[in-house]
Every structure is written in structure tokens, then in C-alpha cells.
Amino acid sequence: MVQRKLVIKVQMTGDKCRTKALKLAAGAEGVTSVAIEGDDKSLVVVIGDEVDSVCLTRSLRKKVGYATIVSVAQLEESDEKKDEEDNPTPTICYSGYGQYPQFPSYYRVVSDPWPSNCFFM
């Protein structure tokens, strides 16, 4: 997953508005971290996977005050994370039934190099 860093400038008058903005941003889908930055504490910094910046800005406008998108940037992944994605470890699942012999089931993530647009098989 590609993580994005969103910086949104929100017109906030006090601590109550800042708390409300943090709660709204943290509740958005795909958000992993939220912070308030800037000299006047008017910048809401959101980091997450596939965060909808327009939807988040619109909800901040409705609930807190005037908001504008300052920047949207993609964060780079480290080499360790890339290696883990290339070689996923298999997951072992055991059966919960005591009367049957338990054999481990191995699952491996397989990606299709040529995905098809056909959804019917």
C-alpha cells in the first residue's frame, strides 16, 4: 500500500475546534496518524493509505471551519518493507476440532501478473 501525507489548512479558533478537527481526521477511512502542526496550529497533517483528501476536506469544512488542501504527497517505503512484500511469509491455520487430526494449512499470497477485466467465470 502506498501511504499519502495530506496537509490541510483549517481555520480553527480554539482548542475545541482543534480537538474536533483531530477527531474528524482520525475517523476518516484509511488514516493511520493525525497531527496538528504550524506556528498558529492551523495545519492538520494526515498520514494514511488511500485517504480521500477531498472528502476529508469537505467534512472539515462542514464541521469545523474553512479548510483548504495545502499539499498531497506520497511517502516512500523503506527497502525492508519492499522485501517483505516481494516474499510474503505463508500463514499457518490450524483446525479447532479436537477429534480430527490437525494438519497445517498453508496460504500464500499470489498476484496475477495479467489481471482480467472479466468478473464471470
List, as one string, the DSSP characters of 5-61. EEEEEE---SHHHHHHHHHHHHTSTTEEEEEEESTTS-EEEEEEES--HHHHHHHHH
Amino acid 88: pLDDT = 60
* pLDDT for residue 75: 84
pLDDT given at position 30: 87
Per-residue pLDDT at 70: 93
pLDDT per residue as tens digits for the range 106-119: 555 556 666 666 55
pLDDT of residue 2: 78
- Read off the pLDDT of residues 13-38 as tens digits, 9 standing for 90 and up: 888 998 999 999 988 888 999 999 98
Q: Is the pLDDT of residue 83 over 60?
A: no
pLDDT in tens, 54-75: 889 999 999 998 999 999 998 8
Residue 100 or residue 8, greater confidence: 8
pTM (2 decimals)? 0.62
Q: 49 pairs with which residues across the strands?
A: 3
